[in-house]
Amino acid sequence: PALASAAATDSLAAEVARILTALGAAPERFTDGARIVRSPIDGSEIGRVADASPDEVAAAIGRARAAFLAWRAVPAPRRGEFVRRLGEALRAAKDDLGRLVSIEAGKIVSEGLGEVQEMIDICDFAVGLSRQLYGLTMGSERADHRLQEQWHPAGVVGVISAFNFPVAVWSWNAALAFVCGDSVVWKPSEKTPLTALAVSALVDRVIADFPEAPAGLSELVLGARDTGAALVGDARVPVVSATGSTAMGRIVGRAVADRFGRAILELGGNNASIVAPSADLDLALRAIAFGAMGTAGQRCTTLRRLIVHESVYDRLVPRLIEVYRSVRIGDPLEEGVLVGPLIDAAAIAGMEKALAAASAAGGTVHGGGRAAVAGLEGGHYVRPALVEMPAQTGPVIEETFAPILYVLRYSTFEEAIALQNGVPQGLSSSIFTTDMREADRFLSALGSDCGIANVNMGTSGAEIGGAFGGEKETGGGRESGSDAWKAYMRRMTSAINYGSAMPLAQGVRFDV
């Protein structure tokens, strides 16, 4: 085992260096610095990076601000052409970048590639959007008057992203921001700076080849809390989009509000699926397995609570426990493995703590515990856990970023909805049913209180075309598709008088 892990160590670091170099990152950016980057696959060192000091963050914002002043004057469809080229560059880099995501974040290969596909998809969306930044015209109450609104670029957009989608979350924000005429300063998770360096090198090449794109259009600042605080506190950044924990969002939201900036918050989820009496259980089983164990339970959309009708409980839950027992855990780069490592040792500790609390609250735990993977002893592997809970208490109402699925029983639909909505978070939800009335009731104003509510699907794996985000402690922000772009622009309302009289609104008289 000692030899095997030494070999794995060499090969991961070497592969990371090859990919970063191929994508155009300067070697000193990923080999020099005080912060050691490790792969969760085997715990080996795969790079070293330097944190940006507050002064360096301020300088990056200054460059982004100058870039914004030029970029806002470039016609939106030309800005779309820039994003089209970014999408092309991502297509060309998909295999390399996807692999790097897998090595740095520990995702299985298919999910690493899927994450890059999500970046390509949002670029395509943004290209079309660049010709559809529509405002409205409204009928004026005054004769010979016209009312209209326009959407103008907002300025520098700050993006703070998490380790679990180390590159896609940047792209949902950046692709929209670029077509909206904004520049972007990105503070990625300190756990995944290498994928950020790769994307940043790729964008820099697209910028260099695009005559109207100013240097500073896309800035990267590496580091942890202090780096983020310098970005969030700077009044030259009118929009801050932050993805991560509710605790982080509370700090960011307050700091941005304090200077009257706009925060787009995408925070914790505690997503539930309801399995109704009429559900297609074979379909539900597969969807639940992906929702709860995919990305080793480390998506904000991960299925964390399963609310099962008492009439199907004994037909579904034992089968699910069997799937949990047989799922392949191990090296995410290996074909056939479905559950890779957690991001670090702290994540394992968090999972163990939640399982202990669940047991103490009367839960029956199936699975859980560390998983030994031969040759990868330094990695952070666990067995996914399914916990049958007597009630929605203790750790069930918290988000633990690990593969734990709490299972609850219900008897009436109202009870199921109350359980589904009975947590502080409000990101994603779903129902498995073939009863049309029940499905639509779940989607109605009286049903799920989440930003995302699916039918006969799991809670995760959203497409980019819809607005992504959720309510309550999830933060209320929306990113990605639909009209989420409006948060990256400022709205201007104009009244235009094309007559020679000067009537006042509301019939007010002011005759001088």
Q: How far apart are CA 251 and CA 465, in angstroms?
A: 29
Q: How far apart are CA 29 and CA 222, in angstroms?
A: 10
Nearer to ligand UN1, 130 or 301 (CB): 301
**Residue 82 to residues 69, 207, 481, Cα–Cα distance (Å):** 17, 8, 19
Residue 415 is among the residues annotated as catalytic for this protein: no
Q: With CB under 6 A as the contact rule, which of the stretches 32-40, 161-169, 331-339, 502-510 interacts with ligand UN1? A: 161-169
User: Which residues have CB under 8 Å from 110's CB, separation 6+?
Assistant: none
Minimum CB separation of residue 199 from ligand UN1 in Å reads: 16
User: Checking DSSP bridges between strand 489-497 and strand 467-468, what pairing results, if any?
Assistant: unpaired
In 3D space, the residue among 151, 189, 153, 149 whose CA is nearest the CA of residue 168 turns out to be 189
Q: With CB under 6 A as the contact rule, which of the stretches 17-25, 103-111, 162-170, 436-444 interacts with ligand UN1? A: 162-170
Nearer to ligand UN1, 230 or 338 (CB): 338
Does 270 engage in binding with ligand UN1 (CB under 6 A)?
A: no
Minimum CB separation of residue 398 from ligand UN1 in Å reads: 17
Q: How far apart are CA 483 and CA 487, in angstroms?
A: 8
Q: With CB under 6 A as the contact rule, which of the stretches 251-259, 297-305, 373-381, 498-506 interacts with ligand UN1? A: 297-305
Instruction: Cite the DSSP H helix spans in 23-153.
Output: 27-31, 54-71, 76-105, 109-129
Minimum CB separation of residue 463 from ligand UN1 in Å reads: 7
Q: How far apart are CA 240 and CA 162, in angstroms?
A: 14
Quickly count: other Cβ atoms within 10 Å of residue 8's Cβ.
22
Minimum CB separation of residue 243 from ligand UN1 in Å reads: 5
Identify the residue whose tokens are 């005759």: 511
DSSP SS3 for 405: strand
Does 301 engage in binding with ligand UN1 (CB under 6 A)?
A: yes
Nearer to ligand UN1, 290 or 313 (CB): 290
Cα angle 294-299-301, degrees, rounded to a multiple of 5: 100
Give the one residue of 5, 39, 200, 243 binding ligand UN1; rule: CB under 6 A.
243
Does 173 engage in binding with ligand UN1 (CB under 6 A)?
A: no
Minimum CB separation of residue 207 from ligand UN1 in Å reads: 26
Phi, psi of 352 (to 5 degrees): -65, -40
Site size toward ligand UN1 (CB under 6 A) is 11
In DSSP terms, which residues pair with 112 in a beta bridge? none
Nearer to ligand UN1, 44 or 430 (CB): 430
Residue 399 token pair: 């988000």
Q: Binders of ligand UN1 among 104-123, rule CB under 6 A?
A: 118
In 3D space, the residue among 266, 240, 257 whose CA is nearest the CA of residue 182 turns out to be 240
Give the one residue of 201, 300, 317, 419 binding ligand UN1; rule: CB under 6 A.
300
State which residue has the least CB distance to ligand UN1. Answer: 462
For the beta sheet containing 183-187, the strands, ordered from the edge strand earlier in sequence to the opposite edge, are: 218-220, 183-187, 156-160, 239-243, 262-266
Nearer to ligand UN1, 153 or 244 (CB): 244
Nearer to ligand UN1, 241 or 301 (CB): 301
Give the one residue of 340, 461, 469, 470 binding ligand UN1; rule: CB under 6 A.
461
Phi, psi of 494 (to 5 degrees): -130, 140
Nearer to ligand UN1, 165 or 381 (CB): 165
Nearer to ligand UN1, 183 or 460 (CB): 460
Does 460 engage in binding with ligand UN1 (CB under 6 A)?
A: yes
Q: Binders of ligand UN1 among 86-105, rule CB under 6 A?
A: none
Does 164 engage in binding with ligand UN1 (CB under 6 A)?
A: yes
Taken in order 415, 418, 420, 424, is the CA torsion positive or negative? negative
Q: With CB under 6 A as the contact rule, which of the stretches 85-93, 119-127, 164-172, 245-253 interacts with ligand UN1? A: 164-172
Determine contact, residues 366/255, Cβ cutoff 8 Å.
no
Give the one residue of 30, 151, 165, 186 binding ligand UN1; rule: CB under 6 A.
165
Q: Which of 118, 266, 388, 479 is catalytic?
A: 266
Q: Build a one-symbol-per-residue string for 462-491: x at contacts with ligand UN1 by CB under 6 A, - elsewhere.
A: x-----------------------------
Nearer to ligand UN1, 42 or 121 (CB): 121
Residue 234 token pair: 């700077």
Minimum CB separation of residue 296 from ligand UN1 in Å reads: 12
Instruction: Cite the DSSP H helix spans in 47-75.
Output: 54-71
User: Checking DSSP bridges between strand 479-480 and strand 425-426, what pairing results, if any?
Assistant: unpaired
User: Checking DSSP bridges between strand 303-309 and strand 364-367, what pairing results, if any?
Assistant: unpaired
User: Which residues have CB under 8 Å from 8's CB, separation 6+?
Assistant: 41, 42, 44, 375, 376
Q: With CB under 6 A as the contact rule, which of the stretches 96-104, 152-160, 460-468, 484-492 interacts with ligand UN1? A: 460-468
Q: With CB under 6 A as the contact rule, which of the stretches 31-39, 311-319, 368-376, 457-465 interacts with ligand UN1? A: 457-465
The half-sphere exposure of 146 on its side-chain side, counting CA atoms within 13 A, is 7
- Chain contacts with ligand UN1 (rule: CB under 6 A): 118, 164-165, 169, 243, 299-301, 460-462
Active site residues: 266
